A and B are shown apart, each in its own frame.
Chain A
Amino acid sequence: DVKVTQSSRYLVKRTGEKVFLECVQDMDHENMFWYRQDPGLGLRLIYFSYDVKMKEKGDIPEGYSVSREKKERFSLILESASTNQTSMYLCASSSGGGNTEAFFGQGTRLTVV
């Protein structure tokens, strides 16, 4: 069973803090993704990675950075958290081809106060 694990289900951070969201997948997938999901806006791609140390900006990369030092782990970093980054964050992974399923983690509900 493919598993994508996000380190926290719920997180509360203060404005200005540096926040790390961790994602680990156990199926040796090449592609990993970070999305945020907001009511009325749907799932929006923040960053994705198609290989170790490779990253591509998605639709809304501002205020975020990512790190992929190992194939199984993809980290999302909020350099200085702001209240408008309060959201549900979803990590996903998929194997190399486009005709394969993306598997999602359970999500991290981040609240910035």
Chain B
Amino acid sequence: QKEVEQDPGPLSVPEGAIVSLNCTYSNSAFQYFMWYRQYSRKGPELLMYTYSSGNKEDGRFTAQVDKSSKYISLFIRDSQPSDSATYLCAMIAPSNSGYALNFGKGTSLLVTP
């Protein structure tokens, strides 16, 4: 079983909709939780980063972490066509030998005008 599970979609929503993206994980050692956005033919870029359980807001984006359920979410309000991309959750379990990111498979999102 992969340590980080994410529904690959694709997810198609109309412009203005609220989007909910989710990941579950099995490794209790994960401490840092991130969402990356990847546009076609580009490398991933960090969108949101959280450390503790709870919510973190940045403009139209809200990242939510529930460590007790091993569940993280990304909400996008008032979605725009420019939000169309693949969204990857990523997690880090710090160790003496570094901080490698463990990724979900990514969810492909299409926001239609």
Contact = CB atoms under 8 A, between A and B. Distances in A.
Given A43-B106, A98-B92, A33 B100 contact: yes
Interface residues of A, number: 29
Interface residues of B, number: 27
A42 B104 contact: yes
Contacts of A41: 105
A112 B63 CA distance: 39
Interface string A86-102: 00001010101111011
Interface stretch (B12-20, B37-45, B65-73): B37-45
Given A56-B100, A58-B100, A101-B49, A42 B94 contact: no
Contacts of A56: 97-98, 100
A106 interface: yes
Contacts, number: 68
Contacts of B94: 98
B98 A48 contact: yes
B22 to A, nearest CB: 15
A101 B101 contact: no
B98 A104 contact: no
Given A40-B8, A42-B106, A31 B43 contact: no
Given A42-B104, A56-B97, 13 more contacts: A33-B101, A35-B103, A40-B8, A45-B102, A49-B98, A56-B98, A58-B100, A90-B43, A98-B32, A101-B46, A101-B49, A102-B46, A107-B42
